[in-house]
Amino acid sequence: MDPHRKITQGLPQFPESLWRDTTDLPAFPKLTEDISTDVAVVGGGITGITTAYLLSKAGYKVTLLEAGEILSGTTGFTSAKISAQHGLIYHHLLKHFGEENARLYYQSNNEAMNWILNTAEELEVSCGIKREAAYLYADAEDPQTLKQLEEEYKAYEQLGLPGEWLDNVPIPLMASGAIKLPEQARFHPLQYLKALLKVIVEKGGVIYEHTMMADKVEKNDKLTLFTEKNDYRITCRYAVSASHFPFYDGGVLYFSRLHAERSYCLAIQPETDFEGGMYLSASEPTRSLRAVEWEGRNLVIVGGENHKTGQGICTIGHYENLELFAGHLLGIKAIPYRWSAQDLITLDRVPYIGKISDNEEIYIATGYGKWGMSSGTLAAQIISDQIQRKDNPYTELYDPSRFKAGASIKSFIVQNANVVKELVAGKVEIVHKKTSDLKADEGAVVFHDGKRVGAYKDPEGKLHLVDRTCTHMGCECDWNDGDRSWDCPCHGSRFSYDGEVLEGPASVPLTKLYE
């Protein structure tokens, strides 16, 4: 290692996604009237937009509804790898789903990847798509993970997947072995999806932002959806929940069948050349690498530091760990961006995609487990086929009503015991609470205008809303019930219930929000 290599450079003060900062997205109005449509798609990420694109092209009247701004959720904060190599998955699938389903999982994600590439070419959109090999590697001196990786490669061989075993990798990672999967891809997801949005509008699709949906659905000859507070009604033949966590549960209790994980990304300008390829560690802590072009410079997106949401160390610590890893590996000239994302993972690690039940025209797509680019596209294909009454070979594999006993029961018990523990601690971040749920003299994190925000209802019933992002270094503040304050877990800044600074190092108040 070069002893003069710069290990740390200094993180940006606030998190910001490279994808969102480099894409000029169109704005859409808020829904202000009752409407009727063929298909109501709830959620403006890759799943919702791709579903609306497919059905608009098929001649359906489609309405896309987003609680906040289009592409402001997980899709806007991805690492944007398009791959069928989803970590240590194929050995697991062989064991719990069988050979045919394991092969279908690969086939479905590979087809989704190729569909993205073909669609980008068809629409002539410049979105930085590049074919690259993906590498799943085990860290040196981690014999347990190396053994798991060897089992994974045996699964590749049994399934006939085009993987290759390597004893080391092309970049100077300390790896004891790797599986190379050729011809995967990376891209700029928002530039790609912006092109799909244009087609949706051209085909007569209607898009609304800042339109929060209630969890109520009336079912008669048609479906009736309601905006929050029952202000407006959407009458439709089909409803699609593409909202990350399903907006409508249907009594299935998805909160007990999903858990949330947070992960982090830096976009660094390296001191040394990056040889290319997309890398993911099978060892913990997770590390991910891929190149991206930005303002004529070659950057590397360094990701990882996965943890269950609400159960990690101070968020700045996760970014600092990635900074140290990248600095030792490549050196750092600059860090233009840092951001984080939240992903949902199912009990058996396969997404839930399709009809909630046989007799309802309500469809869901969730639980992508950090592989939303291929899985979100695949979900749109399955759901659009189901709505059009077309056969799809992957319907049964991803059926939301499945329950694989061997893969699920242990996870179900462990996760829900953990959920109970974290509910007591007040740290679960799959936020269901709304401002209307607050009692007098109560504060909490609530879901408002498509975002998690801080809310406090004072003894007189007046509501105070704030952006919880600490103005010092961008950590998310937690509600301190004892002191009626918003406290930063990273560096100790404290703010009053209406955002005023109580203690530093922050010197600027939290941003006040309004209903």
CB 351 within 8 A of CB 382: no
Give the per-residue pLDDT at 307: 79
Give the per-residue pLDDT at 435: 85
Task: Provide the terminal-to-terminal Cα distance of the chain, rounded to the nearest Å.
Answer: 54
Give the per-residue pLDDT at 432: 60
Query: pLDDT, tens digit, for every residue of 245-303?
Result: 888 877 777 777 888 888 999 999 999 999 899 999 999 999 999 999 999 999 999 99
Give the per-residue pLDDT at 418: 47
The overall average pLDDT reported for the chain is 90
Is the confidence at residue 240, as pLDDT, over 50?
yes
Environment class of residue 142 by beta-carbon count within 10 Å: exposed (0-12), middle (13-18) or buried (19+)?
buried
Q: How many CB atoms lie within 10 A of CB 512?
A: 12
What is the biggest distance separating any 2 CA atoms in the chain, rounded to whole angstroms? 71
Is 0.75 surpassed by the pTM of this model? yes
**DSSP state at residue 182:** E
Pairing of β 332-346 and β 258-270: antiparallel
Between residues 456 and 450, the one the model is more confident about: 456
Give the per-residue pLDDT at 425: 33
Give the per-residue pLDDT at 423: 32
Query: pLDDT, tens digit, for every residue of 473-502?
Result: 888 898 888 778 898 887 778 899 999 998
Query: CB-based contacts of 407: which residues, under 8 Å, 6+ apart?
Result: 92, 95, 96, 97, 347, 348, 349
Q: Which residue type, as a one-letter code, is found at position 351?
A: P
CB 299 within 8 A of CB 307: no
Give the per-residue pLDDT at 421: 40
Q: Which residue type, as a one-letter code, is found at position 7?
A: I
Give the per-residue pLDDT at 3: 43
pLDDT category at 428 given cuts 50, 70, 90 is very low
CB 129 within 8 A of CB 83: no
Pairing of β 62-65 and β 206-208: parallel
Query: pLDDT, tens digit, for every residue of 377-393?
Result: 999 999 999 999 999 99
The two structure tokens encoding residue 264: 């982090």
pLDDT category at 420 given cuts 50, 70, 90 is very low
Pairing of β 287-294 and β 297-308: antiparallel
Q: Which residue has the tokens 């610590």?
A: 317
Query: CB-based contacts of 191: which residues, under 8 Å, 6+ apart?
Result: 22, 23, 125, 126, 127, 128
Task: Compute, in degrees rounded to 10, the torsion defined by CA atoms 389, 392, 398, 404.
Answer: 100
Pairing of β 233-241 and β 35-42: parallel
